[in-house]
A and B are shown apart, each in its own frame.
Chain A
Amino acid sequence: MIKHLFKIAFFVISMGLIGVSCTEEIDLDQVNDLEINPVLESSLFYFEAAAGDFFLGGSGAYTAGDYVVLDIFDNEFVNDNLIKAELVFETVNSINRAYQVQVDFLDNTNTLRHSFTFSADASPNNENLTFEHIEVFEDETLENLKETTTLVFRLTMLPGAPVDPNSPGSIHLKSKGVFYLNIDR
């Protein structure tokens, strides 16, 4: 009998040992503080054209236009999490004519919400001249970006030295978007 009692006592003590593990304070609610800030970069648009590729020649101004309907800005994820955006344009011009690029941002009622222009100088010696433009969207302009559903591009070859389809040089436009996100619970 005493043996049995001893066994039970031993067993209970062992169980106790296992049961009384201590803990230091932890707080699982901290998960609500979760906040991450990834920065995404994505190529957007590009084109490369020789002097004679898409205009008629001469020395007057010439304008080409194009548009893209898109839903990457006007969606729930972007609306909730995008806190800043930059559109980066790089122009490399070796044509002896200056260019101007205008980008218009239209919402789904085709109302103009934002617009900017940048230019590239003429290259008299047909060397590669590089120009960069960064358009930053924050606060109010960011809200306008988030309403945008159509981008309209306008490329203007400004008046200058005459060019013909055989004139040397080319123009190369690259663009990317830098998107700063803030994702929290």
Chain B
Amino acid sequence: MRKITYLLFLVSCFSLGQNKQILYGFSEIPQALIQNPGGQVTNKWYFGIPLLSHIHFNSGSSGISVYDLFADNGVNFNTKLENAIYSMQENNFVTANQQIEIFSGGFAIGSIFDKKEYISFGVYQEFDFISYYPKDYAILAYEGNQNNVNRVFDASHANLSAELISVWHIGYNKQVNNNFSFGVRGKVYSSILNANSTNNKGSFVTRIGQNNFYNHIFNLDLELRTSGYTTSGEEDRFTANDYKKRLLLGGNLGLGFDIGFTQKIDKQWTVDASLLDIGFISHTKDVENYKIEGNYQFEGVDPLFYESPEGQTADDYWSNVEDEFEELFEVDSTKTKYTTWRPAKLNASLNYAFGKKKTEACNCLSDNDEYLNRVGLQLYAIARPKQPQMALTAYYYRRLFNGLSAKATYTVDAFSFKNVGLGVSAHLGNVNLYLMADNFLEYQNVYNAQSVSLQLGLNYIFNRK
């Protein structure tokens, strides 16, 4: 039980990106079409088993692992904390992403004998979180300013974003000819909860003063924007009812789209790419923003022993200082609506298929059967508040036999240079089952993994042929 709790903690607190490198291009699985609306379609129609068709967790920490901080190894926690504080950089981050498909389905359309078009649709719920490491805040809190005279503490190190949304989508895929297909997917987002603070500016610095030991210079412009959770008013702030209502398009709404294509270069080479979640959400309901803004310099209380030319005493001056500080750190609350951009994602891959199945009858290569093996390179990028994150994957795919295929991946990203992943898809009759996970090399101690990712799902499929 403890293990499970820890694993949940791990998944919920230390997760990274949304890279689905194993699922991408795995065309036996209908959900691969979510990763590339212009991907290859291999089924006639399908529906996802509600709530089970696609379950995805992904979490990561680009600086340290859970084990680095919480290992039960006799090392004092504060020593480990100190190591973490100084070893991490402000561009390190923790992220978590979770998706559950509520329902989904798809069907081919076109003339009875030649169905080259495909419609897919569905609803999924997504949680996405990223927080950069607020290094300067951590160091100021850890050390204080005594040994940091002239060090400019950068207020922009606080940078985080969290969203809980539902996505309603419908996609269109067309196989233009034997070599080229493309697809688009329209999306309506309904934001359930949102919080972000991605545009903080300013600094705090202690400098040697002219009149006194130090001149403390505050220059702050910080803002946290939230929607979906209000702290004012009588009613409950967020209820299960709110969740249901907003899941059903009753939240703050937004629009977006995905596009993608697949191009066969020759019989064995294929190139494909997709752009996902080009979209925005407009936050107009239940908005609460908090802002701290101002400049202030403090060198000390001046007119001691005699009144200033304006007749101000030391005590007056001090009262002023207190007021100024209060004003500086006073949190202004507004209800100004705002817009957030969804984290756009790019996928691209180059693939080489080889090795046809030998038929038993004539010991010759079967002509119709597809190639059994595929290798390729995949590129993934996602727009994030500070800078895009990228991952490069090499993979080997193998159709073990009809209805069972597997894909192994090797990924290099911000978390790891040796992330090995494995995915399996099985068709049992018309039921499709798939399961994929990565970071296998860290499985001897999962807490040492800087990222973990898991996807699984269950579909009912009616295949072509």
Contact = CB atoms under 8 A, between A and B. Distances in A.
B314 A66 contact: yes
Nearest to A89: B213
Interface in A64-111: 64-71, 88, 90
**Residue of B67, B298, B305, B444 most packed against chain A (CB within 10 A):** B305
Interface in B228-272: none
**Residue of A11, A15, A23, A173 most packed against chain B (CB within 10 A):** A23
Contacts of B213: 41, 43, 88, 90, 174-176
Contacts of A25: 71-73
B446 A28 contact: no
A53 to B, nearest CB: 7
A42 B454 CA distance: 50
A44 B144 CA distance: 17
Interface string B60-99: 0000001100111100111011000000000000000000
B78 A178 contact: no
What 8 A-B pairs have minimum CB-CB distances, sorted nearest first? A38-B144, A43-B300, A30-B77, A25-B72, A21-B443, A39-B146, A27-B72, A46-B212
B206 interface: yes
Contact of A38 (B143, B303, B422): B143
B305 A10 contact: no
Contacts of A30: 70, 72, 77, 80
6 contacts: A23-B445, A44-B300, A54-B305, A66-B313, A69-B318, A176-B300
Interface of B: 3, 6, 9, 66-67, 70-73, 76-78, 80-81, 140-147, 149, 206, 209, 211-216, 298-306, 313-315, 318-319, 322, 400-404, 406, 422, 424, 426-429, 433, 435, 437, 440, 443-448, 454
A110 to B, nearest CB: 14
A168 to B, nearest CB: 19
Contacts of A174: 209, 211-213, 300
Judged by DSSP, the binding face of B is: mixed
B416 to A, nearest CB: 15
Contact of B304 (A27, A39, A45, A69): A45
B212 A176 contact: yes
Contacts of A155: 304-305
A176 B208 CA distance: 12
B224 to A, nearest CB: 22
A43 B215 contact: yes
A8 to B, nearest CB: 7
Interface string A131-160: 000000000000000000000010100000
A11 B146 contact: no
A34 B212 contact: no
A65 B318 CA distance: 16
A184 to B, nearest CB: 9
Contact of B447 (A3, A26, A31): A26
